[in-house]
Structure 1
C-alpha cells in the first residue's frame, strides 16, 4: 500500500534521505536499499527554523543542506514530508481514468469532487485498488463513465515548487513530497505487517502544534483527522497554570513530569477526548472495534502521555518503532539513544520507504 505523492521522478533509488519538516524539530533519516532489505544508516533531529511566513527556497535550502551534512550522507536524493496543516488528504469518487487525468480534473473542479474550492493547488491520487500506474482502464461502451474511490492528496503548488527548488539549491536531487499525515502508514506496513493487514488500528501521531489520527481497517485507510492540539499547547498551558516561563514549563514537562502529573493529565485530556470521539465515530459507522492504538511523535516516548491517553480512551495505547522492519547500521551513540528517539521518526521513515 506504500503511498507516495508529488514525485520528482519515477525511478526507484538505492538510497534516500527523507526529511520531516516539523513545527519545532526537523527529523531526518538516511536509508539504503540493500539486497537483504532497507537499512537505516543515520538519523538526525535538528531545531526547526522559525519563519514568520512561508520561507523562501534559499532559507529552506540552507536548512536542508545542514541536515543532510549532519547525516554524513552520500545520497543526493532527498524526499520531504510536509506538515498536516500544509496538505489535504481525503477520499473522492472520481471517474475511472489514468492518474494524470485525475490530477487535471481535480485542478479544474476541486469543489465538485472535494467539496472545497482549492485554487492554486496541485493534486495527486492513489486509487483504492492500488492502480497508480499501468495501462488506462478500458472505456465503457455506454454513455456513463464508472467511478472509483480515490485517495487524494493536495498542496499549494507554490509550496511544492518551493520545496523542490530548495532541495535542488541544497545540491540534492528532489525525490517525493509526501503528506506527513499518511507517512506513518508506510512505516507501519513495513514494521508490523501482520498487525497492519489483519487488524483495525488507530495511528496517533503527536506533533508540536497539531496531532493526527488515522484509522486503518485491514490495511485500508478509512478515516483521518487532524487536531489543533500538540506539545506546544500543553507546555503553554502548564506555564500559564504555574505562572512560570515557557522554557521553565518545558523543562518540568520533560524532566519532572511526576511533580505536575495532575496538571499535565488535565492539559492533555482535551486531546484524548477528541481522539475518543474519532474512534467512537468509526466504531459506530462500521460496527467494528478499534483493536490497537499506536502512538508516535516525541510525546510517545513519555510514559505519562501514554497513561493519560489510555485514561481518556479507555484502551491500551503503546508507542511503536517505525524502524522495526529495517536493519540498523547506526553509530554507537545513536544506537544508545535509539529507544527515546525512535517514535519521532515515523514520518521520516515512511517518507523514505515511499521513495525507495
Structure 2
C-alpha cells in the first residue's frame, strides 16, 4: 500500500535567497519525487489565510526563507518554529533628504521629523520595524537616539490587497510636501525610487557601506531559514534534503554570479538586473545558509531591537530557536554528492 505524499509548503521573500534560485531553476522540484512529497508554493495559493502563513508561520509543513521580522514576531507569539540556517545578504539602505534641504549631515537630524510608515491591515508591520531600525542605526553613528528626533506616521492602507507597495514611495511623497525632513529607503524598490528621484534628493548616509555589520542589521539582514519543530521532528530526512538544495543553489550562485543576479532580478520585473546588482553588492557570495556565531549574534541583535522597540509579544532565547544538526547533515550530504560526481 503506497504512502500518502508529504505536503511541503515553501515561501521566500525579498528575492535575494537561495530558495529563489532553487525554485526558479527547478532544483527543489527535482529533489523530491511527487510520490513522496507534494510541493506547494505559498504565494500561488488563492486563500489569503494560507498566504498569511508567510508572516505568522501557521502552516506547520512550511519552509520559509526571507526577512527576519515576521519569523521573530511569530516566534515571540508562540509559533514553535526553529531556525535551520541564516544568510547575511547586505542590501541597499539609505537615509535621504530633499536636495535643497539645509540638512547636510546626520547630526543635523536632531529635532527633525523622520518619516515612519504605518501599514494599516498588516499582520505584522515589518516595514515599520525596518524603518525604525534603519533610522536607529543611522542616528547611532552620530550619538543620537529615538528621543532626539520626531517620528511622523505616514499611513498606508494595506487592507485592500496583499502588497505593501514600493518601499519608501509614500514616505517620499511626505518628504516632497514638507511633512517630514528625512526618509529611510531600502531594498531594490527603495534604490529605484532614489535613482528615479535623484535630482531631488540628497543622501545623508548609505548604511550598506558602513563597515560595522551590526549597523547594517535590518529586516533583510540576516535572513533565517525556518520550519516548524513538529515538521523537523516528523521528517528530519526531508528537512536535510531541503537544506541540501539550498546549499547547492548557493554554490551555483558563487560559480555563476551574473546568473544569480539575473535570477533574483526575475522576482521583480520592475527593477532589472542592474538595480538588483546595485541593491545587493555581494549577492552571489552571500546566499549560503550558515549558523556561525556572528550570524546568530546578528539575529539575536535584531530580536533584541524588536523587543526593545515594542514589536514583540514576549522575549525568547535565541539559542533555543537554533537547531544546528540538519544543516550540518545537509553539508555532509552535499559533500558526499560532490565526491561521487
Higher relative contact order (CA 8 A, sep 6+): 2
* Greater share of strand: 1
TM-score, normalised by the number of residues in structure 2 = 0.31
TM-score, normalised by the number of residues in structure 1 = 0.30
